[in-house]
């Protein structure tokens, strides 16, 4: 199968699920969506939508109920000085405090990544792409 055929097959397999009207999902809000057997946490951060697998892999805590905050970073980009970063983009597991980047699903400090889902806005609706 050629790369173009794989892309076409993937495109056909995708489905869009309407989860809310944009007006009902303002910045700073979140939603827990059950699609089939999957629980998905959807966030509106500053008008941008992000969706991740909704259960923490550690003890299955519902991530849509975790708080959003920032985190302290210290790396070569900050000249090894501590700096507050990612304000409002770090999801903290309500079960045990593991931190995830909402934009990418990556855990801070661990080699772990949650599945992420594409979110679209079409005709005034927020759509989850599966």
Q: CA 36, CA 41: separation in Å to the nearest integer?
A: 14
Confidence of residue 123 (pLDDT cuts 50, 70, 90): very high
Q: CA 73, CA 57: separation in Å to the nearest integer?
A: 24
Q: What radius of gyration do the chain's Cα atoms show?
A: 16
- Give the number of other CB atoms < 10 A from CB of residue 33: 18
Confidence of residue 109 (pLDDT cuts 50, 70, 90): confident
In which element (H, E) is residue 7 found? helix 3-13
Residue 22 Cα distances to 33, 83, 85, 116, 130, angstroms = 15, 33, 27, 20, 19
Q: What is the pTM of this model?
A: 0.83
pLDDT at 86 exceeding the cut of 90: no
All residues at 6 or more sequence positions from 39 whose CB lies less than 8 Å from its CB, including other chains? 32, 33, 53, 54, 55, 62, 64
Q: CA 94, CA 65: separation in Å to the nearest integer?
A: 6
- Which superfamily is assigned to 16-129 in CATH? Rieske [2Fe-2S] iron-sulphur domain (2.102.10.10)
Place of tokens 């892999």: 57
The per-residue pLDDT for 62 is 95
């Amino acid at each position: 199968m050629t790369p173009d055929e794989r892309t076409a097959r993937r495109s056909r397999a995708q489905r869009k699920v309407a989860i809310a009207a944009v007006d009902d999902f303002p910045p700073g809000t979140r939603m827990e969506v059950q699609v089939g057997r999957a629980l998905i946490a959807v966030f509106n951060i500053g008008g941008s939508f992000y969706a991740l697998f909704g259960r923490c892999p550690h003890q299955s805590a519902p991530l849509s109920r975790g708080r959003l905050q920032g985190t302290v970073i210290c790396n070569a980009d900050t000249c090894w000085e501590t700096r507050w970063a990612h304000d409002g983009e770090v999801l903290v597991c309500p079960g045990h405090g593991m931190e995830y980047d909402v934009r990418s699903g990556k855990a801070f400090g661990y080699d772990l990544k949650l599945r992420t889902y594409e979110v679209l806005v079409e005709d005034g609706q927020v759509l989850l792409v599966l």
